[in-house]
């Protein structure tokens, strides 16, 4: 079968996680997340984010996490603002609306929400009470089109939301990829990214910034080496306190909650979570660098493990003979933006071979 660059959840999980599950075999363990393994995972995360009071909860998937967070924050007449590319707006089968809330999707070519976007929505919703009341801002980081928020961008959003009485919720399905992105290393966020040769953490956005900036955020496991699972972090104490009811009501409270807890314990016991994300980013950006050197334009700036080169049809055809990936958006009659996604498990050799093939196609 051809190697797939379709997504970052095609491989089982990092071996340490299955090992950790195997080691539990001799135990009887408490149910519903009330066990020492889950508690250890929660503590590791609280330490890492520097927020000993934060509510930390583990659930099985991203759509579940999103609907839980949003439904627990909002009253029936309150609505959500997000980029029109936002996962909740297009790829969750109406999960948020099914909990009763309208979503305002605002156009955003780079997948990021700006203060002026939110302002525009607020301005359109002054004819009270005939309109909904926008109350929660949803951002994804990294975004659905692979871009990342700079620290100052998120700080600006956060300040604005606080001032306007809006909740800020960050969907971190690919949070690892965002936090280790070059964009968050010693940069001011202005201008395009030129160099991807070395990926390391810098003085940009840190995990520990999030509890201060957001009312809620998630830490994605499924797309970063876990078998499955997302951690929900709630800075808002009132919502956190009642959250277990919501977990149960929405069918998200696993009887064997430690299946999730143990995985997050392994990911955050050391730097594993970030190492896996770094590997994924590095793999994609190695490809991106070569393509950029060959003059290939991109739909969005390549910053993380999802990249969107705009390729000529014949090139796409040849690549599809040996690799699987998605066509993302038709640009013109002869060009289409495609999506390559690398993961924590992408072998270096595969990246080498892909680059070789690409160069051989181009030089033909």
Minimum CB separation of residue 92 from its own copies in Å reads 7
Q: What is the largest CA-CA distance in the chain?
A: 64
Nearer CB in complex with its own copies: 65/210: 65
Is residue 306 part of the contact set for its own copies (CB under 8 A)?
A: no
CB of 107 to its own copies, least distance (A): 11
Per-residue exposure over 189-208, b if at least 16 CB sit within 10 Å of its own CB, e if not: eeeebeebeebebbebbebe
Determine, following the binding rule CB under 8 A, whether residue 97 of this chain makes contact with its own copies: yes
Q: Give the pairing of strands 78-83 and 55-59.
A: unpaired
Q: Are 149 and 205 in contact (CB under 8 A)?
A: yes
Q: Does 259 bind its own copies (CB under 8 A)?
A: yes
Q: Distance between CA 24 and CA 69 in Å, rounded?
A: 30
Tokens of residue 161, six digits: 């939301």
Instruction: Name the nearest CA neighbour of 341 among 294, 271, 290, 287.
Output: 287
Asked if 94 is part of the footprint of its own copies (rule: CB under 8 A), the reply reads yes
Residue 3 makes contact with its own copies by CB under 8 A? yes
The whole-angstrom separation of Cα 23 and Cα 17 is 10
Task: Report, in Å, the least distance between residue 29 CB and its own copies.
Answer: 6
Minimal distance, residue 9 CB to its own copies, in Å: 4
133 touches its own copies by CB under 8 A: yes
Of the candidate spans 55-63, 263-271, 295-303, 333-341, the one that interacts with its own copies by CB under 8 A turns out to be 55-63
Q: Which is nearer to its own copies, 74 or 213 (CB)?
A: 74
C-alpha 170/C-alpha 214 separation (Å) is 7
65 near its own copies, rule: CB under 8 A: yes
Q: Is residue 251 near its own copies by the rule CB under 8 A?
A: yes
DSSP lists the bridge partners of residue 106 as 83
Under the binding rule (CB under 8 A), the answer on residue 131 touching its own copies is yes
Residues 176-195 that bind its own copies (CB under 8 A): none
* Cβ–Cβ under 8 Å, residues 111 and 140: yes
Taking the complex as a whole, how short is the minimal distance between the CB of residue 129 and its own copies, in angstroms?
4
Which of 31, 237, 297, 314 is close enough to bind its own copies by CB under 8 A? 31
Is residue 16 a contact point for its own copies (CB under 8 A)? no
Which range in 39-47, 57-65, 138-146, 294-302 contacts its own copies by CB under 8 A?
Answer: 57-65
Quick one: which of 41, 232, 254, 287 contacts its own copies (CB under 8 A)? 254
Find the binder of its own copies among 242, 271, 348, 352 (CB under 8 A): 242
Interacting residues with its own copies between 103 and 122 (CB under 8 A)? 103
Residue 222 CB, nearest approach to its own copies (Å): 5
Measured from the CB atom, the residue of 129 and 349 that comes closer to its own copies is: 129
C-alpha torsion 81→78→254→20, nearest 10: 30
Q: Which is nearer to its own copies, 183 or 233 (CB)?
A: 233
222 in Cβ contact with 61 (< 8 Å): yes
Under rule CB under 8 A, residue 95 binds its own copies: yes
- For the bound state, the minimum distance from the C-beta of residue 118 to its own copies, rounded and expressed in Å, comes to 17
Out of 38, 79, 85, 263, point to the residue binding its own copies (CB under 8 A): 79
CB of 267 to its own copies, least distance (A): 15
Determine the size of the site formed for its own copies (CB under 8 A).
76
Site for its own copies contains 203 (CB under 8 A)? no
Is residue 56 a contact point for its own copies (CB under 8 A)? Answer: no
Q: Which of 198, 223, 183, 175 is nearest to 345 (CA)?
A: 223
Quote the CA–CA distance of 42 and 308 in Å, as a whole number.
Answer: 35
């Amino acid at each position: 079968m051809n190697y797939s660059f379709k997504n970052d959840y095609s491989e089982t999980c990092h071996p340490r996680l299955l090992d950790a599950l195997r080691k539990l075999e001799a135990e009887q363990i408490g149910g519903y997340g009330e066990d020492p393994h889950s508690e250890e995972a929660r503590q590791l995360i609280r330490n890492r984010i520097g927020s000993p009071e934060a509510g930390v909860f583990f659930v099985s998937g991203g759509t579940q996490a999103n609907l839980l967070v949003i439904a627990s924050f909002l009253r029936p007449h309150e609505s959500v603002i997000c980029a029109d590319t936002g996962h909740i707006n297009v790829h969750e089968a109406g999960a948020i609306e099914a909990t009763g809330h309208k979503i305002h999707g605002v156009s955003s070519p780079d997948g990021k929400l700006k203060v002026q976007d939110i302002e525009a929505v607020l301005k359109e919703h002054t004819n009270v009470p005939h309109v909904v009341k926008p109350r929660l801002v949803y951002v994804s980081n990294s975004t659905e089109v692979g871009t990342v928020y700079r620290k100052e961008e998120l700080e600006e959003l956060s300040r604005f939301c606080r001032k306007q009485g809006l909740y800020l919720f960050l969907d971190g399905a690919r949070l690892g990829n965002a936090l280790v992105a070059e964009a968050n290393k010693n940069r001011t966020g202005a201008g395009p990214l030129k160099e991807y040769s070395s990926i390391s953490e810098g003085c940009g956005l840190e995990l520990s910034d999030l509890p201060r900036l957001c009312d809620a955020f998630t830490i994605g496991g499924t797309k970063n080496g876990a078998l499955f699972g997302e951690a929900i972090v709630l800075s808002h104490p009132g919502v956190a306190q009642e959250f277990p009811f919501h977990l149960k009501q929405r069918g998200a409270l696993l009887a064997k909650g430690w299946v999730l807890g143990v995985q997050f314990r392994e990911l955050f016991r050391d730097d594993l979570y970030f190492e896996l994300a770094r590997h994924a980013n590095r793999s994609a950006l190695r490809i991106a660098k070569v393509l950029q050197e060959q003059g290939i334009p991109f739909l969005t700036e390549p910053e993380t493990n999802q990249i969107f080169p705009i390729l000529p049809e014949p090139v796409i055809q040849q690549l599809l003979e040996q690799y699987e990936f998605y066509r993302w958006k038709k640009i013109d009659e002869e060009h289409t933006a495609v999506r390559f996604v690398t993961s924590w498990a992408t072998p270096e050799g595969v990246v080498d071979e892909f680059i070789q093939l690409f160069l051989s196609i181009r030089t033909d």
